[in-house]
Amino acid sequence: MSNRLDGKKILIMTSNTGIERDELAKPMEALRALGASVVHGSSDGGSTQTFVHDTEKDRTFESQMSLAGLHASEFDALVIPGGTVNADTLRQDENAQRLVNEFTQAGKTVAAICHGPWVLVEAGVVPGKTLTSYPSIKTDLINADAAGWVDQEVKQCPANGWTLITSRKPDDIPAFNEAIAAALEAA
């Protein structure tokens, strides 16, 4: 077990339903294996329902806290998994938007995969950034004044004092996890 991320604390933020299982579980497992402390916070706290390919109900995960009780000052990075329901629910959650803005204003790492960048759009942090995402939300990102959209497994964009990492889909999770780890090591 590597301890590359000893002392780093990461928040994985989800709604309570509709999360793409691998986009929650795999970063959580990989970042913990690298020595990070990973907290799973959800809209309401408690059980969160995951899905495979947004349609097949899978297992539930317990979140440690509700988003209302969390603050960026407690963490080094924020990870936003995808899943259309998860991202669409979070983009309407005031605490999710507050947390994204707290992380960016504090100069921390924010990473979103698949449909997760929808939350970034709603929080107003996309203008001027180049991102990747699930292809179906490319137009949403461009309409939110993103500087551009790229079709690559992971995109890291300098973001006025904070680090933005985006990724497209579950197949890209290994590169996504490595980009998060590298950003935290460099911080």
C-alpha dihedral, 153 to 168 to 37 to 69, nearest 10°? 150
**Cα 187 to Cα 4: distance, rounded to the nearest angstrom:** 12
Catalytic center residues: 114-115
pLDDT bucket at 55, cuts 50 / 70 / 90: confident
Residue found by looking up tokens 């407690």 in the block: 74
Residues of the chain with pLDDT > 90, as a percent, come to 94
Please determine, looking at this structure, whether the domain spanning 9-186 carries the CATH number 1.20.120.1770. Answer: no
Comparing C-alpha atoms, which of 131, 113, 115, 122 is closest to residue 172? 113
Say what the pTM is.
0.97
Burial of 118 (0-12, 13-18, 19+ CB in 10 A): buried
Say whether pLDDT at 1 is over 70: no
pLDDT bucket at 10, cuts 50 / 70 / 90: very high
Count other Cβ atoms within 10 Å, centred on residue 180. 30
pLDDT bucket at 61, cuts 50 / 70 / 90: very high
- What does the pLDDT average to over 5-15? 98
**Cα 36 to Cα 111: distance, rounded to the nearest angstrom:** 15
pLDDT bucket at 158, cuts 50 / 70 / 90: confident
